[in-house]
């Protein structure tokens, strides 16, 4: 009969949560100092450490970089063999060490000669690392969740969370917009969902537009061009969107046997004043919600005056999801 390990898992989680709660209460003025040092840094935040703390440091460096704070990782041992050249006078060093007495401590005199600010994430505020640091983020003397109390577990969890708190507090100060975040995530799902409609919509010759008083036959000719999404935006004499017609609408007409519809004004059969419209500045994710909620394949894109400037097709959304390069309209 399989053993039940749930209670063991719950106990480990309880220990790690307790470490985080204690760390939360321990936060003080040095956290504010660390935030200001990073926010005002003119160079890069160089993150260093060894062992498990070093692996956490790589994650913290990546989080900083992806949220607008230039950062790179430097292994503390390699730094003693030339990689210290990665540190420049305008940088800030973020050093992680639970004991504060690892190889990281051996870099401190050289870092002080470079006159770079040092932020420490450590479990010992009296350690060598803490004494050299300009700001000490104390994770506390945590009880490791390891059954032997040896393998870094609660301590590394605390370091990860402290690093997140530091990076995301600075991120909030930068007042980034979704498009700023998307710029640094062009290949990831988050970034793709934060792209704007104007980056992926079909425009120019690939955005069929016709007057609402033409015949359906004429409108079909407009929407049958190369790269057409199988839909046409219909406009009034001022160029404002007043209707929309799609391949699906045509199939329904043919199914109903309305053969004479081809020579009638398209305004007789178009979807008038379509509710499913979007602007070029909207997020692609918002456009997807419209496609999904209205169960449609295309959505017209309009400017502030209600004039069609593009069309987003469900295929364009699928290309975004796959991370495919969007075809560019040379006339757009």
SS (H, E, C) 18-47: HHHHHHHHHCCHHHHHHHHHHHCCCCCEEE
Rounded to the nearest 5°, which phi and psi values hold at 300?
A: -75, 145
User: How do residues 116-126 score in pLDDT, each as one tens digit?
Assistant: 999 999 999 99
CA dihedral 243, 248, 254, 258 (to 10 degrees): -20
Strands, E assignment, 283-324 = 298-302, 308-313
Give bridge partners of residue 231 from the DSSP assignment. 246
In the chain, DSSP assigns E strands to 45-49, 71-75, 92-97, 118-122, 135-138, 209-211, 231-235, 241-246, 271-272, 278-279, 298-302, 308-313
| Residue range 231-245: mean pLDDT, rounded | 94
Vertex 221 angle, CA 225 and 257, to 5°: 125
pLDDT for residue 322 is more than 80: no
Which of 69-73, 204-208, 224-228, 266-270 is predicted least confidently? 224-228
Q: What percent of the chain has pLDDT over 70?
A: 88
Which residue segments constitute the domains of the chain, with CATH numbers given? Answer: 6-176 (3.40.50.10490), 197-322 (3.10.580.10)
**Does the predicted model carry a pTM greater than 0.85?**
no
């Amino acid at each position: 009969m399989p053993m039940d390990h749930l209670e063991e898992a719950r106990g480990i989680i309880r220990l790690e949560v307790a470490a985080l709660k204690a760390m939360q209460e321990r936060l003080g003025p040095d956290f504010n100092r660390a935030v200001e040092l990073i926010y005002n840094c003119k160079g890069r935040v160089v993150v260093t450490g060894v062992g498990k703390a070093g692996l956490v440091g790589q994650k913290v460096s990546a989080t900083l970089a992806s949220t607008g704070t230039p950062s790179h990782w430097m292994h503390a041992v390699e730094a003693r063999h030339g990689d210290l050249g990665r540190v420049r006078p305008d940088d800030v060093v973020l050093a992680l060490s639970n004991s504060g007495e690892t190889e990281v401590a051996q870099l401190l005199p050289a870092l002080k000669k470079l006159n770079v600010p040092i932020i420490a994430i450590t479990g010992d505020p009296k350690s060598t690392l803490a004494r050299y640091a300009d700001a000490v983020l104390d994770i506390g003397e945590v009880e490791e969740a390891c059954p032997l109390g040896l393998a870094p577990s609660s301590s590394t969890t605390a370091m990860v969370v402290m690093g997140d708190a530091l990076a995301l507090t600075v991120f909030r100060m930068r007042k980034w917009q979704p498009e700023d975040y998307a710029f640094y995530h062009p290949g990831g799902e988050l970034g793709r969902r934060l792209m704007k409609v104007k980056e992926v919509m079909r425009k120019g010759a690939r955005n069929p537009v016709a007057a609402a008083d033409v015949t359906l036959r004429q409108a079909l000719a407009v929407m049958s061009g190369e790269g057409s999404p199988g839909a046409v935006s219909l406009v009034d004499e001022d160029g404002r969107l007043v209707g929309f017609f799609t391949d699906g609408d045509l199939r329904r007409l043919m199914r109903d046997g309305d053969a004479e519809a081809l020579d009638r004004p398209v305004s007789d059969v178009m979807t008038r004043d379509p509710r499913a419209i979007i602007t070029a500045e909207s997020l692609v994710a918002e456009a997807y919600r419209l496609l999904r909620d209205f169960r449609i394949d295309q959505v017209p894109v309009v400017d502030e005056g209600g004039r069609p400037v593009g069309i987003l097709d469900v295929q364009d959304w699928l290309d975004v999801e796959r991370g495919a390069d969007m075809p560019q309209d040379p006339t757009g």
